[in-house]
Amino acid sequence: MKSTFRTCAGLGFAAIVLSFARPARAQSSFEFEARSGLVTGPFVLTNDCICQPVDTDLAGGGRAIFSFTLTNAGTYALICSVNASNPEANSIYVDIDREPQDPQTIWNIPVTTGFENRIVFWPENVTTGVAKPKQKNFTLAPGTHRITFRGKAANVQIARISLRSLPAAPTNLRVFKAP
């Protein structure tokens, strides 16, 4: 970081100009088309999206797996282009590097009008009849990983999957008071 102190002549105030140099960044996002996953029934690939025509429990749900390799550790959000047009049919299971678990990894997708990008939320506190959702951020180490979707509600469609790196919190910030 470089800082410069400047006096603004005739204006009666001083300004501090801060500039930051960003280090080179490793790949910070991954994009997957639904057709690039390893898909098993009752999921089907149709019109470039995956979906299943029936409601199931976790054990009976279809499976779609998307593999990727990270070079740098980081915290990531999972964003999907989904069509979940029915409030009675808008949930799916999802996890990274593990098989999804019921009810901890259920993603209850807010109802969409056609395909819309949605961030994966999981129930934060699961108790009988009450689930408080919270954005799920995945902390991942360098290496090979896999995103696993399992079917739950009928006709939920996934067209595209994005894994996005979340920025690190700033460190070593200092406050300077102008004289």
153 domain residue, yes or no: yes
Domain count, the chain: 1
pLDDT digits (tens, 9 = 90+) for 90-131: 999 999 999 999 989 999 999 999 999 999 998 865 555 655
Instruction: Enter the DSSP assignment of 172.
Output: S
- % of residues, the chain, pLDDT over 70: 79
8 within a domain of the structure (yes/no)? no
User: pLDDT at position 6, please?
Assistant: 46
Residues 131, 108 contacting (CB under 8 angstroms): yes
Q: From CA 177, how far away is CA 179, in angstroms rounded? A: 6
In a domain, 5, yes or no: no
In a domain, 65, yes or no: yes
User: What confidence score (pLDDT) does residue 130 get?
Assistant: 57
In single-letter form, the type of residue at position 93 comes to Y
- Tell me, yes or no, whether 179 lies in a domain: no
Per-residue confidence (pLDDT) for residue 22, from 0 to 100 = 47
The pTM for the full model equals 0.76
**What residues are paired with 107 via a beta bridge?**
92
What confidence score (pLDDT) does residue 11 get? 47
Give yes or no for a cis peptide into 103 (omega within 30° of 0). yes
Q: For residue 158, is it within any domain?
A: yes
| 164 close to 79: Cβ distance less than 8 angstroms | yes
CATH number of 91's domain: 2.60.120.260
Q: Does residue 22 form part of some domain?
A: no
DSSP labels, 9-55: TTTTEEEEEEE-PPPP----EEEEEGGGSEEETT-EEETTEEE-SS-
What residues of the chain score a pLDDT lower than 50?
A: 1-9, 11, 13-25
Residue 122 lies in a domain: yes
pLDDT at position 123 is 80
Structural domain boundaries, residue 94: 28-165
